[in-house]
Amino acid sequence: MKTHVLFNLFATFLLADGLNIEDSAGQFFSSGHTNNWAVLVCTSRFWFNYRHVANTLSVYRSVKRLGIPDSHIVLMLADDMACNHRNPKPATVFSHKNMELNVYGDDVEVDYRGYEVTVENFLRVLTGRLPPSTPRSKRLLSDDRSNILIYLTGHGGNGFLKFQDSEEISNVELADAFEQMWQKRRYNELLFIIDTCQGASMYERFYSPNLMALASSQVGEDSLSHQPDLAIGVHLMDRYTFYLLEFLEDIHPASKANMNDLFKVCPKSQCVSTPGHRTDLFLRDPGSVLITDFFGSVRKVEITTEAIDLTDPIKEVEERPANGDVHKEMHSYVDQLPVSEIIHQNGKLCATSTNKMSLCCFHGDVSECEMQLPRGLGVEGPP
Amino acid sequence: MAAHRCCFPVWLFILCSFSLFIIAGSQETTVAPEQHASVLDNPQTAAETAEQTAGESGGVEERRWEGTEVRDAAAQKQAEPAVLQPTPQPKDDFQEELVVRPLHSGDIYASFQFRTLWETDFMRGNKVSHYRLFPKSLGQVISKFSVRELHISFTQGYWRTMQWGQPYLPSPPGAELWVWFQDSVTDVDATWKELTNVLSGIFCASLNFIDSTNTVQPSASFKPLGIGNVTDHRFLRYATLPREIVCTENLTPWKKLLPCGSKAGLAVLLKSEKLFHSSFHSQAVHIRPVCQDWQCKTTSWELRQTLNVVFDLHNSGQGKREWSLFKMFSRTLTEACPLASSSKIYIDITDNPEGEQFELSPATSLLSQAMVLGDRRTFSVYDLTQQDTFGSVRSLNLLIRWKSTEGDMLRPLLHAERYVAGYGLQTGEIHTLMYNHHPYRSFPVLLLDSVPWYLRLYIHTLTVTSKGKDNKPSYIHYQPSKDRVRPHLLEMLVQLPPNSVTEVTVQFERALLKWTEYTPDPNHGFYVGSSVISSLVPSTVAMDTNSTRERPLFSSFFPCKEESSYFVRVYTEPLLVNLPTPDFSMPYNVICLTCTVVAVGYGSLYNLLTRSFQIEEPSPGLAKRIANVIRKMRGVPPL
């Protein structure tokens, strides 16, 4: 009888413990992602669009602070504000007036800059269809367990976003790009934030699963900028990203703030425009999604007590020359300006030229010279 | 190995059998407890032998190197006693130095050089895998693309030769890349394209814009700066991007290539907020093979990272002629890089022998003389590897205070300018002026001009005049451009007569680009890269031709073959030309106008031709309408 009771107690204890394990295991795998990526794009050029670069750099700064490394961030800035000749304080980009916060910092790596920020490059980065010689830092190497944060800022309108004042990307193209990413299993969950005028129009056409989108203004509304700095002479930040930065400054890697808090950032009283969001394509409840699921890179660590055998270190085989005393020729530095060698480089061609300068001082032989003379050159041209 | 109180004998038995099993498996014959003791003894002997035979400089690196040996020895369980002697690792060496030269205009010129020497062979069959001081990213670039020499520089600002003299390492504004490939490369152009893409990722610069439209293959300039016998110019490629911006994002990966990063040594001074608030900022990476010793039978790879900066008297100096390390860099020095074999600061005091021009503090007794840029210069030296350099406050803040402003700068012997003449958007003229300020010696210069294809040069209008007379170059190499494929290349060897100005002029015509080829801001203009003038300038003192003697880094960059002259490279200004730019809003305007014209013109004509008129009765009053309805019902015609 006693053993029976003991056995029952033991079994219930095991069961309770097991439930606990299942609970924590469930929590462990609740978000479903194992790595974080961020694609931050500023699409505006020219000095008076300083605030767009400051917007992107603030999000970059928050994302780096919360743990995503540079190798997992693709930062695209269409123009250089920090070292612009009109910047009174070079190598700085400020977000608050009176130069309180330098969001450019000392440790920044911009992957696409200047003329490289085009619609084509942006879509290639998202879909992964880049030329084979593209370096790793310019690629979005995400997999199906990656959570990606995409942040776009610039000038936009109803259904489009302007890139560098010369081309635009439409909401249909963007939705199709995300669908391509979904088909190729390039993301687990994707958070899309856009800070432009009429930004909500950009996420209207999304149709792929696991997408959550936030915008700074509705269709028909303009997103406004926050405050100018009289020393620098331009507006420093846009309102929505300014309050987003203030919100993110309070987040630390262990914070439990969730997406519902993010939706409340910048109400109409502060932002003048009405920020919007879209969660119908997202499978999880936004209240259970942590901010750090997208903005941070919280690694989950599983402690194991197994021992792993490391193999013996590979001994480098030292190549010795066959005979110990090989006669090696003496190397020397090359003459930097060998005048006589240069003059005689083309041998007879230059030497036989008349007092008029001959164009036949090409490399190689005379036949090449005759072929290469383009029409009209080498004869008396128009005065 | 905590022993359980209840099962102690069982655990002990299991442990003993386990250890016996291990011993049976290994080749040793010693018993288990003795083996543990001997393994403990071994690391100490390994450390001793390593210390004796390594001969490395710097205590910290020695200890670090020993650490690896200990782990190796323990893992192998002393299989062979010979492994305790270090396998001959390629030796690498790191040196850092800073040269400060006060300029006569009140500005100050600081030049950092970091050099890593490594005796290894990247071109060997099995790949190099153990990198220590040499950065792995660059080592992999060298071996993958069979690079013999690589020189890349990023510059912001233009070097004013007449006010500042000659720089130790010249560089043109924007980005410049020139590479010598090994002669084993079969397709140089494809390798060059891949190399530029990889470098754009390493340095966070848009070097991927280097393609065939801005790459040239010089035929006589840019000879290799490292050792080598073959100089077939088919393996040389040169490209510049004059528009390239340099900012913190280029400095960050550059600093990460240094062995100590920016945490220790001279690199702590490299703070971007101060470095970019300057008149001139240039950072470069130079990789080349050099002689290992005076015999020069074997080569080692040299990586030089250089950073030149000129701080302006009024911008950074606030108008006061007083410079200190803290004022220039907002940092002071506290230690040398532990991995460096030498870490020195040189202050140029040649113009201040008695201390009458400026005062240098803290005082130092170390002096050094060097032959650099054709002149014998004297330097005060601060050795950062000595602890007493830092004094009692444990930090070094050099102070240079000017006392008098008199004194004349030695005018540089070679100087060049370039500008665009002409008016309108159709034609123009490029003028290049080269000044020879030597009173009685003439010397040859090699001028390299690479002009983009959209400025169509008329080479028949090329004139070279000195002192008003025609000066025929002794060598001309011209490669005409091909639209959208390659640029113009013009190389000339000109003898500059003494005390004269030589002017090279060529007329050009501007091309109309296709509307997709314009940049997003075409009204800014299009850049033409700097001309490069390479020359052997006569020197006032005998230059040192022994290349392997211990010399400060700043004087040992360009190899010197003869005593009476030194090699110098001068870059002119880049040009900014406006091309005829279309109005990009015209398609919209044209559509609106055309549609309006069509609607008004054609529409009116159509209406006139096809519209017919009908007479319509005015609508009757209410009574009449009711009457009409009743009449209709009766079948009678309405009123």
Q: Both B493 and B514 in a single domain?
A: yes
- Determine the pLDDT at residue B415: 92
The span from the CA of B65 to the CA of B237, in Å, is: 40
pLDDT in tens, A219-267: 998 998 888 888 899 999 999 999 999 999 999 988 899 999 999 998 8
Report strand pairing: B532-538 vs B565-571.
antiparallel
Q: Is residue A25 over pLDDT 90?
A: no
Q: Which residues contact B250 (CB under 8 A, 6 or more apart)?
A: B154, B203, B204, B205, B283
Q: Is B240 exposed, middle or buried (0-12, 13-18, 19+ CB in 10 A)?
A: buried
Q: Both B454 and B487 in a single domain?
A: yes
Q: Which residues contact A28 (CB under 8 A, 6 or more apart)?
A: A300
Band (pLDDT 50/70/90 cuts) for residue A34 is confident
Distance from CA of A173 to the nearest CA of B (A): 21
- Structure token pair of residue B292: 């290992």
Q: Both B440 and B468 in a single domain?
A: yes
Band (pLDDT 50/70/90 cuts) for residue A337 is confident
Q: Both B564 and B420 in a single domain?
A: yes
Nearest to B345 by CA among B313, B323, B367, B326: B367
Per the domain annotation, does B10 fall within a domain?
no
Tokens 């390994």 sit at which residue? B46
CATH of the domain at B526: 2.60.40.740
* Contact criterion met (CB < 8 Å) for B201 and A136: yes
Query: Cβ(B325)–Cβ(B269) under 8 Å?
Result: yes
What is the amino acid identity at position A28? F
Q: Is residue A103 over pLDDT 50?
A: yes
Percent over 70 (pLDDT), chain A: 80
Chosen domain end from B532, B553, B577: B577
* ipTM of the predicted assembly exceeds 0.90: no
Beta bridge partners of B475: B493
Instruction: Name the DSSP letter for residue A238.
Output: B
Q: Which residues contact B533 (CB under 8 A, 6 or more apart)?
A: B414, B416, B434, B445, B446, B447, B448, B569, B570, B571, B572
Counting every residue written for chain B, the total comes to 639
Q: Which residues contact A337 (CB under 8 A, 6 or more apart)?
A: B223, B444, B446, B534, B535, B536, B567
Omega of the bond leading into B362 within 30 degrees of 0 (cis): yes
Query: Cβ(A203)–Cβ(A236) under 8 Å?
Result: no
Ranges of residues in chain B whose predicted pLDDT is under 70:
1-90, 124-126, 407, 547-549
Which of A134, A334, A355 is closest, CB to CB, to B228?
Answer: A334
- Determine the pLDDT at residue A31: 65
Q: Both B490 and B597 in a single domain?
A: no
Q: Both B419 and B568 in a single domain?
A: yes
Per the domain annotation, does B548 fall within a domain?
yes
Per the domain annotation, does B178 fall within a domain?
no
pLDDT in tens, A162-210: 999 889 999 999 999 999 999 999 999 999 999 999 999 999 999 999 9
Q: Which residues of B touch A311 (CB under 8 A)?
A: none
Q: Is residue A349 over pLDDT 60?
A: no
Band (pLDDT 50/70/90 cuts) for residue A148 is very high
- Structure token pair of residue A342: 């240069």
Chosen domain end from B577, B594, B624: B577
Q: What is the pTM of this model?
A: 0.81
**B603 lies in which domain range?**
585-609
* Contact criterion met (CB < 8 Å) for B472 and A355: yes
Distance from CA of A287 to the nearest CA of B (A): 37
The span from the CA of B24 to the CA of B18, in Å, is: 10
- Residues 110-129 of chain A with CB under 8 A from chain B are 110-116
Q: Both B560 and B605 in a single domain?
A: no
The highest-confidence range among A202-211, A303-312, A334-343, B38-47, by mean pLDDT, is A202-211
Q: Both B559 and B447 in a single domain?
A: yes
- Structure token pair of residue B329: 């860099």
Q: Both B556 and B457 in a single domain?
A: yes
Tell me the C-alpha to C-alpha distance, in Å, between residue B146 and each of A209, B121, B218: 47, 11, 20
- What chain A holds in terms of domains, given with CATH numbers, is 26-295 (3.40.50.1460), 316-383 (no CATH)
Band (pLDDT 50/70/90 cuts) for residue A382 is very low
Least-confidence region, from A294-308, A368-382, B99-113, B448-462: A368-382
- Determine the pLDDT at residue B145: 93
Q: Count other C-beta atoms under 10 Å from residue A110's C-beta.
A: 32
- Determine the pLDDT at residue A15: 62
Query: Cβ(B181)–Cβ(B215) under 8 Å?
Result: no
The span from the CA of B504 to the CA of B491, in Å, is: 12
Burial per residue of A127-145, b for 16 or more beta-carbon CB atoms within 10 angstroms, e otherwise: beeeeeebbebbebebeee
Per the domain annotation, does B492 fall within a domain?
yes
- Determine the pLDDT at residue A50: 94
Q: Both B447 and B512 in a single domain?
A: yes
- Structure token pair of residue B639: 């009123």
Which runs of E-coded beta strand occur in chain A?
Answer: 35-42, 73-77, 112-113, 146-153, 156-157, 160-163, 167-170, 189-195, 211-215, 276-278
- Structure token pair of residue A147: 């959570």
Q: Both B595 and B514 in a single domain?
A: no
Chosen domain end from B522, B553, B577: B577
Helix (H) or strand (E) segment spanning residue B447: strand B443-451
- Determine the pLDDT at residue B21: 56
The span from the CA of B203 to the CA of B349, in Å, is: 35
Q: Which residues of B touch A133 (CB under 8 A)?
A: 193-194, 197-198
Looking at per-residue pLDDT, the higher value among A193 and A308 belongs to A193
- Determine the pLDDT at residue B444: 93
* Contact criterion met (CB < 8 Å) for B252 and A45: no
Least-confidence region, from A8-22, A84-98, B451-465, B501-515: A8-22
- Determine the pLDDT at residue A341: 82
Per the domain annotation, does B332 fall within a domain?
no
Tokens 């519902």 sit at which residue? A260
Domain count, chain B: 2
Q: Which residues of A touch B248 (CB under 8 A)?
A: 82-83, 91, 104-106, 108
- Determine the pLDDT at residue A366: 40
Q: Both B542 and B596 in a single domain?
A: no
B298 and A CB contact within 8 Å: yes
